[in-house]
Amino acid sequence: MECKVCLNSDANPSIKISDNGLCSICEIYRTNFNRSSLEEEKEFFESFIGNGKKYDIMAGISGGKDSSAMLYTLKKMGFKPLAFTFDIGYYPMHEFSRARAVAKTLGVDYEVIDIRKYLNRNDVNAYRRTAELYSKRCSHELSEEFRRIYLDERRYYSIKSSSSLPVVRTCQLCRRAVIRGYYSEAKKRKIPLVALAINEWAGLSQDYHDKRGYVFSSMRRLKPSIKEGPVHVVHVPFMLRRKLSETRQILKKIGWNLPQGEELIESNSNSCLFARAAETKATRLLGFHPDTPRISREITVGFITKEQGRGALNKIHRSKYSVGSVLSMAKII
């Protein structure tokens, strides 16, 4: 059974569909989302405008639709952004040239930052074991193993985890270096904010729950050291309650054109060779596309429609490399 709002279904062992036809995520969101909290976060966010000397915010961009529109928005708000793209070795090379071109068009300084230095031994072991998992031949037993790992990996989704276990969802490994990179690179430059063009709430590792109850926030506060001040990572489109139609209007203003062969809405496999190498096998063995939860959250918050999300998940991204080959070429294993 599929959720009547998003694309989550009971094919995913972590999803329950209630009697009213909503998945557990949509039901919690519909019951607990509070727009006024985002307005308060926006006011706090804007209080940093002009606080820095050369830059007052770092803006993660890929050259895609969302990050390009976000960078334009930050400048219109009055921020002085430093645009950047993280490099972990398995992002397509065209991503960096596109991002650089967008930054140049908007008159923003741009850097490529290698974040492989933020991977520790446990992370590398997890990558290696993930490559071994994906090298196994498809079977009923492997399908059961994939579904068990998919459920188990939710327990160590937090970057505080020291797990070296294999994962099914490739983004789970990537985010370990990414989150550490946000904090360290921002602190190095004495910049208090990192802006991301993510169309969903922050704090997923906390299962959107804190002492106040279920909270759907656009901000994540990073403070791994009690001696250092925090860095706030902000999901700008979610904070602004942006719709795809608004993003389209901005893209038209800045002359952004959809790259040939791509769709406006894509799964992670379009911008990550690791995800692309894993996509087909994971989908077959799990019984659902591994990017379904992320795409569904964009539907839940109203950024895209269910039909647009389904189109993105139905598009097949062929990979000529195995998971192990991608990670080897990236010099991670």
pLDDT in tens, 144-202: 999 999 998 877 766 677 789 999 999 999 999 999 999 999 999 999 999 999 999 99
d(CA 191, CA 78): 15
Buried-exposed string 284-310: b where 16+ CB fall within 10 A, e elsewhere: ebbebbbbbbbbbbbbbbebbebebbb
* Residue-wise DSSP of 138-160: P-HHHHHHHHHHHHHGGGG-STT
Residue 208 has pLDDT above 80, yes or no: no
Name every residue whose Cβ is closer than 8 Å to that of residue 10 and which is 6 or more positions away in sequence: 1, 16, 17
In whole angstroms, what is the distance from residue 105 CA to residue 100 CA? 9
Task: Write the single-letter amino acid at 54.
Answer: K
pTM: 0.94
2 bridge partner residues: 9
Identify the DSSP state of 9. Answer: B
Lookup: tokens for 86: 């993280």
Question: CA nearest 1: which of 20, 17, 19, 24?
Answer: 17
Give 8-20 pLDDT, tens digit per residue: 999 999 999 999 9
* pLDDT tens per residue across span 273-313: 999 999 999 999 999 999 999 999 999 999 999 999 999 99
Residue 210 has pLDDT above 60, yes or no: no
3-state SS, residue 239? helix
Burial readout 127-141 (b: 16 or more C-beta within 10 A, e: otherwise): bbebbebbeeeeeee
Per domain, the residue ranges of the chain are: 36-329
Task: Name the CA radius of gyration of the chain, rounded.
Answer: 19
| 3 and 9 Cβ atoms separated by less than 8 Å | yes
| Stretch among 67-71, 153-157, 260-264 having the lowest mean pLDDT | 153-157
pLDDT (average), residues 63-89: 98
- Banded model confidence at residue 206, pLDDT cuts 50, 70, 90: very low
CB neighbourhood size of 124 (10 A): 16
Residue 309, classed as helix, strand or coil, is helix
For 193-221, b/e burial (b = at least 16 CB within 10 A) is: bbbbbbbbbbbebeebeeeeeebbbbbbe
Q: How many helices (H) and strands (E) does the chain have?
A: 13, 8
| Predicted confidence (pLDDT) at residue 317 exceeds the cutoff of 80 | yes
Over 60: is that where the pLDDT of 212 sits? Answer: no
Report the chain's mean pLDDT, rounded to a whole number: 93
3-state DSSP percent of the chain in helix, strand and coil, to 5: 50, 10, 40
Q: Is 79 helix (H, G, I), strand (E, B) or coil?
A: coil
CATH topology (fold) of 36-329: Rossmann fold (3.40.50)
Distance in angstroms (rounded) separating the CA atoms of residues 23 and 29? 10
For the record, the structure tokens of 297 come out as 């959250």
